[in-house]
A = this chain, B = another copy of it.
């Protein structure tokens, strides 16, 4: 049943400047696509079944532009380290375990159930180096009901022997096999080309991945300008490239005809920003991770003002939680600190701007996603925010802000729809 009506109190972004709030309104889904929100129900939809959610708060599904599935198993652990140390001490040894399919199944089952039950409806997901474990992850995510891009990770240099591919050739071979095995196989789960980041990929590997992206028409995800020591390492490894993003650009893995999302961009230079803008590269802003591994604060206001494509990422396990409500709050908080301690030229994000980033901003990476405007794919969440007790009446904008700030995704979410299909949430 992909055609129906939800009635309730509805909030969604039209643009970063404008949020729509309609109480007691009708949200129409036809064949998994939104027909819009109406104060009174148009005659033409009167025949559709109506689910009365009066008093409930309804918003678009949330979009996570950056999350590491194998790191979910150690979220909230080892948070006293900086990025490169943390990768070597925690991330790489943990990811290496996914060579064991039994372990992968145990861990990815937990991850996929979390994805199913949280407020995320779309995600760009990093897997590990392992082809088989990546296929398994895609099967699990398909079962979760969310829509995702999933990438087998590539690494052929500057990595521990226990977690590195033998050569660019080997890496490309297994990547091609993985693509062949998964492309077109799932309804909601798609492969995405995923060089881990410049430090761990040779030019030969990046070139080959670019060709695979071209050949199979696949999008690209990676990391960019996250941490000072990482940026410095890239400068040492690629002395001929004027800035970090120029390495991806050199191999045609930086937007343009290839849809591309880059995580972090905390230290992007003006040249890098210009190139991202020109090539339509997406930024996945991951504030929790940027704090946890001591990277810094990304200048999100600058990116918004420059009209770059930008959305939010939980970056589990650099970020400790998959909750994008937390990420919204952290994005606002970090932008306030940026304004206060870094540069008062850039005013803090308003709540509604961060809400936009988590929905329509990141959503456009997936097409018409993240809003309830007519023609948008129908991803929706229904919350019973009456569970958060309050001594007085609140307006709908206040209810939305409170729901997000108080982590209502964990306590109050009652229904979740992806492309018009209702997900069967676990209690």
Query: Which of B78, B107, B339, B351 is in CB contact (< 8 Å) with A79?
Result: B351
Q: Could you tell me the distance between the alpha carbons of A294 and B329 in the complex, rounded to whole angstroms?
A: 13
Say yes or no: B110 contacts A77, CB within 8 Å: no
Contact B351 A320 (CB under 8 A): no
In the bound complex, do residue B320 and residue A405 qualify as a contact, i.e. CB atoms below 8 Å apart?
A: yes
Contact A75 B406 (CB under 8 A): yes
The contact string, 1 if C-beta is below 8 Å from chain B, for chain A 281-320, is 0000000100110111100000000000000000000001
Q: Check B333–A292 contact: CB distance below 8 A.
A: yes
Q: How far is the CA of A107 from the CA of B392 in the complex (A)?
A: 9
> What residues of chain B lie closer than 8 Å to A341, measured between beta carbons?
296-297, 337, 341-342
Is A413 an interface residue when CB atoms closer than 8 A count as contact?
no
CB of A184 within 8 Å of the partner chain: no
What residues of chain A have their CB less than 8 Å away from a CB belonging to chain B? 73, 75-80, 103, 106-107, 110, 288, 291-292, 294-297, 320-321, 329, 332-334, 336-337, 339-342, 348, 350-351, 389-392, 394, 398, 401-407, 410-411
Which of A75, A337, A350 neighbours the largest number of chain B CB atoms within 10 Å of its CB?
A: A337
Is the pair B103, A391 in contact by a Cβ cutoff of 8 Å?
A: yes
Determine whether the beta carbon of B392 is less than 8 Å from that of A291: no
Other-chain contact of A320, B297, B406, B411 (Cβ < 8 Å): B406
Contacts of A320 in B (CB 8 A): 329, 405-406
B390 touching A79, Cβ below 8 Å: no
- CB <8 Å contact, B107 and A340: no
Q: Which residues of B contact A391 (CB under 8 A)?
A: 73, 103, 106-107, 110
CB A255 to nearest CB in B, in angstroms, measures 28
| B340 touching A75, Cβ below 8 Å | no
Other-chain contact of A77, B295, B350, B398 (Cβ < 8 Å): B398
Question: Complex formed: what's the CA distance from A296 to B392 in Å?
Answer: 31
* Distance from A77 Cβ to chain B, minimum over Cβ atoms (Å): 5
**Chain B residues, CB < 8 A from A110:** 389-391
Using known A-B contacts A110-B391, A297-B341, determine if residue A76 contacts B292 with beta carbons closer than 8 Å: no
Query: How distant is the Cα of A390 from the Cα of B333 in the complex, in angstroms?
Result: 30
Query: Cβ of A77 and Cβ of B401 under 8 Å apart?
Result: yes
Most chain B CB inside 10 Å of its own CB: which residue of A79, A106, A334, A390: A79
Cβ contact within 8 Å between B332 and A79 = yes
A352 to chain B, nearest CB (A): 9
B76 contacts A401, CB within 8 Å? yes
User: Can you pick out 17 interface pairs between chain A and chain B where the beta carbons lie within 8 Å of each other?
Assistant: A75-B406, A76-B402, A79-B401, A79-B405, A80-B332, A80-B348, A106-B391, A110-B389, A291-B333, A292-B333, A294-B340, A320-B329, A320-B405, A321-B405, A321-B406, A407-B407, A407-B410
> Which B residue sits closest to A350, measured CB to CB?
B80
Specify which chain B residues have a CB less than 8 angstroms from the CB of A404 in the assembled complex.
76
A295 to B348, CA, bound (A): 12
